[in-house]
Amino acid sequence: MSTQISDQQWAQFEEAGFLHLGNVMDNGELEQLQVRMDDIMLGKASIDYDRVMMQLDRDPERDNKPGPQSKGHKGETLLYRKIQDLERDALFLDYLQKPIFRSVCARAYGNETPVACFRAMFMNKPARGGTELVWHQDRWTDLDKDPMITIWTALDPAIIANGCVKLIPGSHRALINPEHGAGFLTEEHIENIVSKQEFINLELEPGDCVVLHNWTLHSSGTNSTDIARRAFSVCYMDAATQSSRGHEYAVVFGEGEMTTESIA
């Protein structure tokens, strides 16, 4: 596969707010990522769990509702909903630094602009579970610049029945609810805007990869099947972006770039 985004592909992305790249995996890479993700959930991975945000999909202490999003391992189970800070894992860092992703970021932010990882995140809808994600745009009011690029990779089949992403093509051209700290829509927005537009179901094969404009409206449902819907999602941003909360972000492309050796 080419390591560069073509003009035609970029034009498609700018028009629709997303671009299906297809499978960008090397031989055996999908299986390696699948196994590593399970090892992280089961507490068997060589990773500093005190620096990794982990959230259970079903927390027994919360009547099997999603648990808190906090640092640290929450128990030996595959029933995690969300795990962040995966740039601290050598295998996932290597994947998110693929040349094709570097090309996407260069298109979005400029060839000479260092690019940081806002979040490298595992999202999971366990079999016969999962959490509904309401319509929203990915943006955060504590940042002085909006990240524009998320790259979403399916680790399992993503189908309607197991809660694949739904999105509205062309919805990335304007912010709908800029006052919300994380871009979520109100019920009124959903009734007056979303319900009047056509959405598509982003059904994908394992290993398939999609570039999303962060403002593209999207949501997802729960999983009614016996097949988990695991995915790896990376949000890339201009490394000069500042957070009012004082967060610092690892540079993954350009000057000061994070390497396997720098993970500590």
Structural element, H or E, at residue 98? none
Residue 1: predicted pLDDT: 63
Angle at 241 between CA 237 and CA 245, to 5 degrees: 115
User: What average pLDDT is seen over the chain?
Assistant: 96
Segments of 101-156 assigned E as strands: 115-125, 133-136, 149-154
Q: Is 186 exposed, middle or buried (0-12, 13-18, 19+ CB in 10 A)?
A: middle
Nearest residue to 2 (alpha-carbon basis) of 29, 11, 256, 10: 10
In the predicted structure, residue 261 carries a pLDDT above the cut 90: no
Terminal CA-CA length for the chain: 32
Q: Does residue 48 sit in helix, strand or coil? A: coil
Query: How far is the C-alpha of 213 from the C-alpha of 216, rounded, in Å?
Result: 6
Percent of the chain with pLDDT over 90: 94
Residue 61: predicted pLDDT: 87
The answer as to CATH 3.40.50.11740 being correct for domain 19-238+245-255 is: no
Amino acid code (one letter) for 33: L
- Residues 117-159 have pLDDT tens digits of 999 999 999 999 999 999 999 999 999 999 999 999 999 999 9
- Residues 50-106 have pLDDT tens digits of 999 999 998 988 988 899 999 999 999 999 999 999 999 999 999 999 999 999 999
Give residue 175's region: left, alpha or beta (phi > 0; psi -120 to 50): beta
Q: Which two tokens stand for residue 82?
A: 């969300």
The whole model's pTM is what? 0.96
Query: How far is the C-alpha of 156 from the C-alpha of 47, rounded, in Å?
Result: 23
- Domains of the chain, by residue range, sit at 19-238+245-255
Residue 115: predicted pLDDT: 98
Q: How many CB atoms lie within 10 A of CB 171?
A: 22
